[in-house]
Structure 1
């Protein structure tokens, strides 16, 4: 499946204001290069998340970008997303493969997470943090050598995440990644 995964995977920042968030998303998608988006909004109520997720899905579909929702799988399925992203807690709680999605992705931070992603047959994972990142300043970065060692143990495509920019794509691919995932590095740059 990795041959159909694009090299850049945008993880949205927390939305502050709906209209400016959607305007920024539209701008990022129009600039080209982003064809896979994870809508992440941990501070919204379920109702507000569902409302904004519907708008995000429309923005992505307008440019033929795939969108996975970082939410409860039942809600992602109900909203008709291209997939669901399992954060660390949802990944560990998931007992069996999820059905009904084109893509199931998961956040992984080490070998145990990668093994759980294999058990539930995730389609791809985000392995982080590779480098120091502003969003998780207390996390110890893996570095490229440890990232590569973990990728060798993965059974599905892996995106590198954590402190990365578009310019890091080549080094990430040399370390075994299918591409890079980023919040700031792809939203702002």
Structure 2
């Protein structure tokens, strides 16, 4: 388990949904930011690089104005170019990384296995998301690990962990009892 945690982690980590309608997306984001969410990952797999960067600049500005930490889910070079203080590494970027990332105040990674957790420890991430714990609408064919496996894996990690996958706000206590600092979610945190 991790020790001597200096940073405080909020109980909810919002992962944004795909921004299919820009006007609606930014209206919803403004609403979410006003609701008290303090940690966000801007994730937009369907956007071209150019449009992603345009949206990311706007998301970073809105988050900064609201005092919310925003991590970009993109290549580290792009996140640095955009001036992001935080970055989230998907599984492939996690395993491509050979050493700790410099220049970011928050580095998180997506983990699904013990190998992922070990790689996250090697590159000294600040926190990870681990899942899917339950069946999730975004990955319906992925077998969930369940709370027992989640608890076993979390005991072998080096840093704080957010439970991910099919979770609702009401799962926070269960996640924390399993050793997580909180839950990460798309739908349940985006729909307030």
What's the CA shift for 1:78? 1.3
> Quick one: distance in 2 between partners of 1:3 and 1:90?
24
Q: Is the 2:130–2:161 Cα contact (8 Å) retained in structure 1?
A: yes
> Quick one: distance in 2 between partners of 1:29 and 1:131?
26
Q: 1:141 aligns to what?
A: 144
> Quick one: distance in 2 between partners of 1:31 and 1:152?
32
Tell me the C-alpha RMSD between the 2 structures: 0.9
Which digits, 9 at most, give the CA deviation of each residue in 1:82-105, with x for residues without a partner? 211000010011111100000110
The counterpart of 1:22, out of the listed 16, 22, 26, is 26
> Quick one: distance in 1 between partners of 2:13 and 2:81?
23
Identify unmatched segments of 5+ residues in structure 1: none
Q: Is the 2:91–2:111 Cα contact (8 Å) retained in structure 1?
A: yes
| TM-score, normalised relative to structure 1 | 0.97
Count of aligned pairs: 188
Which digits, 9 at most, give the CA deviation of each residue in 1:53-79, with x for residues without a partner? 010011111210000000000111111
4+ long deviations beyond 4 Å: none
> Quick one: distance in 2 between partners of 1:108 and 1:2?
22
> Quick one: distance in 2 between partners of 1:6 and 1:52?
24
> Quick one: distance in 1 between partners of 2:168 and 2:6?
20
Within a 5 Å distance, the mapping from 1:1-189 to structure 2 comes to 1=5, 3-32=7-36, 34-189=37-192
